[in-house]
Structures are given as structure tokens and as C-alpha cells.
Chain A
Amino acid sequence: MTEHALLTEGLAKIYGRTRAVDGLDLHVPRGSVYGFLGRNGAGKTTTIRMLMGLARPTRGSLSIFGMSWPGDRLRILERTGYVAEKKLLFEAMNGRDLVRFNRPLFPHWSDEVASNYARQLEIPMDRPFKKLSLGNRTKLCLLMALAQGADLLILDEPTAGLDPVVMDELLRVLIDDYAGEGRTIFLSSHNLAEVEKVADWVGIIHEGKLLLEASLEGIRAEYRRITASGNSLPGATNAQVISVNAAGSAYEYFVRNRAEQFASGLRQQGATILDISPLNLEQVFLQLVRREEPCTSGNTGATHAAVSSSI
């Protein structure tokens, strides 16, 4: 019984000069909800397509429930439900046809789950796919993956382009299914607020590399923003300090861990600690990504220059 639903080691996809994915080590625990985050073009979809055997890795290995490509191809695909980035199914078929198409492929297919969620999500099952809105298309794609009876769901931006109402419906069904069945869910998303609510693990990918992989609980317990004022405060970043921003006459330090220790260090240098507050996922993500891209606009303050006192 493998403890990880999904493991990758040094996974890479290189097209000529472009390193779309560059040495990814993912650890997705069985039964968890894992949020795979990253900017557009960071390599999320490329990674996912390698997981699903649609693209061949240039280097590295991956295993799903201990099974790997190409030998265990069929067993992996039977146990893995997938919603692709492009939510496209056969145009001429309607929901019922698609269920009929999918049913014989999966030994654990459940018509009951299919009709249950079709009803809950109010999907028009008699309308041909090409006539469905994006919201309905996405719902139908998700339905196919849920009714399959998979142990692992891999969802590529399942809520992309959806209006808030549909997004909400989808999440409700996804969580209800997850709570009932305990599948492992691996989803990529831009919607950090939603990921923070539903995930227990996150992995942040940036330019093909993994910036962070941690449990949300761990992030909430460890990551802090320390606001301090004083003279000659350190301005450099290191492994512990993600970034430093000047905010008026105070300095904001975003630290990964041991916030109290860092704060007392600052106090010893004569600083006044104004605030130590936890960070939400969006803030952590932005700080980590901006650290990698110091020259993008919207980046406040210097992250690497020495700081001069201004009190």
C-alpha cells in the first residue's frame, strides 16, 4: 500500500531550448487534496499532461500508486480520472451518449453517481456537447471523471473561465464527492482563495521548478509577516526571509518559519515589532513568486538591496 498517490522525481520536459518543466519532485499523499499552483506558463499543464501519458517526459520518473508508464498504462488510466485544460468532449454527442461511451471503459463506473451529479449540477444531458456553455461543458467533464470510480482525480484548472455561481456549484460537488469517497485530488488552479479552502497540500511551480511544496497547515503555522520599525534593519533575504518590503517608515519581513526567533533577533537590534501576522495562501504565493521575478512591475521595495534607515 503506497502512501503516495503520485510521486515524481526529477520530472522534466524540454523542448529545444525551453525548459517547460525542469526537475519536478512532487509528493502527493494518498487521500489528500493537493493544489498545484503557478502562474500562466509556469508548467502546470505540461506537468499534468505528462502525468496522464499524453506527453512523454524528457527526463525523470513519475509513479501513480506505485505504477509507472508505459508498462502500467492501462491500470493507471483506469484508476485516474482526468479533466483536461481544454474542456472538450465529442461535439456531436450529448451527455447521455458520452456516459454510454465512457461506461464500458471503466470497471468501477457508476451510473448512479453520474445521474446524481447530473441532477445536482443541473447539466442538460440531452443537448449536444457543441451547444453547451463553458460552464456546462466543465460540469460534464467533471461528471465523467467522478462517475468513473477513480482513486485519483487530476483536474487541470477545473474552475477556469467559470462564473462564480458555477464555480461554487462545482466545488460543492467536488467536496461532497471527496468527503464521501476519499479519493486523492490533484488540481491546478489560479483561484488561490478556493484552493486554500479545499486543499490540504500545495505545490507551487514557477518556470518549471518547484518553489514550495508544503501542507497548508504547515504554511499557516510557520509563514509570518513581521512588521518592524527601527534603525539599520537588515534588508537582505536569505533562506528564512522570503522578501523585505519598505512600508512607509516600517519594514515588512515575510518569513518562512521561526518568526518569533527572527522577531527577537530584530528586537535585539533595537527594532520595535509592530505586528506579527499569519499569511494567507495568496500572500505566500505572491511573495514567493515575486522573489523569483524581482524586476516585474508591481513589486514594492527592494528585495536584495541593503536598506538605509529612514526613521
Chain B
Amino acid sequence: MYFWKYWRDTRRGVFVYLGLLVLLAILWLYSMYRANRLGHMGGDARTLWIMELGVTFGLTYLCAVVMSFVAGSHNVGADIGKGTGDFLLSRPRSRKYFVWAGWMAGVCELLGLLVFTALFVFALNVGLFGPVWRQLPSPAHVRGLDLPLMGGTLVLTAGLVYGLTFFLGVLWRSGQRGVIWSVAILFAYSVLSALLRQFEGISLPTPNLVELTSYPAGPWYLGLRIEIIGWTLLSLAFPFAAQLVLDRSDV
């Protein structure tokens, strides 16, 4: 029931996103056409493959970040802020339900969007340049690109951004405020991270596994597996914290 409500609330956003994606695709195809590159991409299979993966990953990463903010802005806290909390929380369900069902709904929607985006962009590439990976011995692990790592990055990044935005939205009872604070915090962290790496050579923890494995590890690094588990737990900690906040407060 709450899943359906979540869909109705976010429906518009999803269609706008898909529309933009299609528009982007058309623009890109058009520019390729004009540059007369359609069907005439030079380069060997490996280069093409790297480019294909790179574009797919890049766009999907963008989707992960942006849509996670958007998805995170829809939560039970936002409902309370809009004045529908009295109605919603007087339905016969525990407050825990509203937190977790809401969170879950967002997770499902995000995953759907990520998968769709990845497949769509990838299909576009394949459509243009053909099944390039057939010419490669191990397409999943070409030097510089690691498919599982990329996939992991997408999921963990989305988990972090979504979770933080979600929690802050419940805390402040406003989807908008949650997004603003989340953007601010993550932006500040990214800047700090970049600066530290640039000037001190220290790498801070990040869900971006690709980046993590490209730079020398910070002193806190305990291995990739620990890193992944850590970020996953953090993603789950956010809805849990939101539940604690909601359980203790008046609506």
C-alpha cells in the first residue's frame, strides 16, 4: 500500500527522468550523425569497449547520484511536513512500517532506474558500435575497468546518498531540507576528500570503489571487503536512525 503511494508520489519524477534520458540519447545520436561518425567509429575493439563502458558507467553514476537525492526527498518526514502526517500515522501500521516500507520503495525504484539507465545506454552503444566485447578475451576485467567494482560503486553510492537524504528528510520533516543538507554534507565531504588527497596524499573512505582502488589507500583502509560491508551497513543505518527519530517524537 505504501509502495503504491510512493510510486504515485514519484511517478512524475520518473517520467521526467526517462524523458530526459531519451532526449539525451536523441541528441547524442544526432551529434554523432552530424559528425558522420555513425557506423564509422575508428579504433580497436578494446578502445571501443572501454569507451562504451565508460559512457554507461558515467551516465549511470550521474543517475545514481541525482536520482538518489530525488528519491530520498520522498519520505514519511516529508509527509508530516506537508501536513498529511496526522492522516498517515493514524492508519493501523506501526511507525516503523512507514519508515522501512518507504525506504524500501525508494530502494526498489532507484535500482530499477539504475538498471534501466545502464541497459539503455549500453544498448545504445551496442546498437551503434556492435557487440564489441565478443572480440575480447575477458570483457569484465579490461585494464582500468572492472565491471563488478563499477556495479558495486553505483549501488553503494546510491545507498549512501539516498540513505542520508532520507534520514535528514525524516529528521527535518521536509524533503527539500533533507536534500539541501544532504547535498551540502556530501559536497563538503567530497571537497575535503579531494583536497586531502591533493595536498596530503590521504584518501578518505568513499563508496566509489573504482576511485578507491585507483589511489593509494589511506591508513584506515582495511581491505575492499570491509569497505563494502561498511558502506552497506551505513546505508542501512540511515533508515534505522530515521526509525528511532520517528518513534520518539510527536507527530
Contact = CB atoms under 8 A, between A and B. Distances in A.
A92 interface: yes
A247 interface: no
A105 B93 contact: yes
B86 A90 contact: no
A55 B250 contact: yes
A74 B94 contact: yes
Interface string A104-143: 1110000000000000000000000000000000000100
Contacts of B93: 74, 77, 105
Given A55-B251, A101-B4, A105-B1, A91 B82 contact: yes
A49 B94 contact: no
B9 A77 contact: no
Given A105-B91, A105-B93, A90 B250 contact: no
A53 B92 contact: no
B94 A73 contact: yes
A74 B92 contact: yes
Contacts of A52: 86, 90
Contacts of A53: 89-90
Interface residues of A, number: 30
Interface string B69-111: 0000000000000111111011111100000000000000000
Contacts of A141: 87
Contacts of A77: 90-93
A88 B86 contact: yes
A198 interface: no
A49 B8 contact: no
Interface string A26-63: 00000000000000000000000100111110000000
Contacts of B37: none
B141 interface: no
Interface stretch (A78-86, A206-214, A285-293): A78-86
A207 to B, nearest CB: 20
A106 B83 CA distance: 22
B90 A84 contact: yes
B5 A101 contact: yes
A200 interface: no
Interface string B240-251: 000000000011
Contact of B8 (A80, A88, A93, A106): A93
Interface string A65-99: 00000000111011010101110111111000100
5 contacts: A53-B90, A74-B93, A93-B8, A105-B91, A106-B92
Interface of A: 49, 52-56, 73-75, 77-78, 80, 82, 84-86, 88-93, 97, 100-102, 104-106, 141
Given A53-B89, A73-B94, A77-B93, 7 more contacts: A55-B251, A75-B92, A82-B86, A89-B84, A90-B84, A92-B12, A93-B8
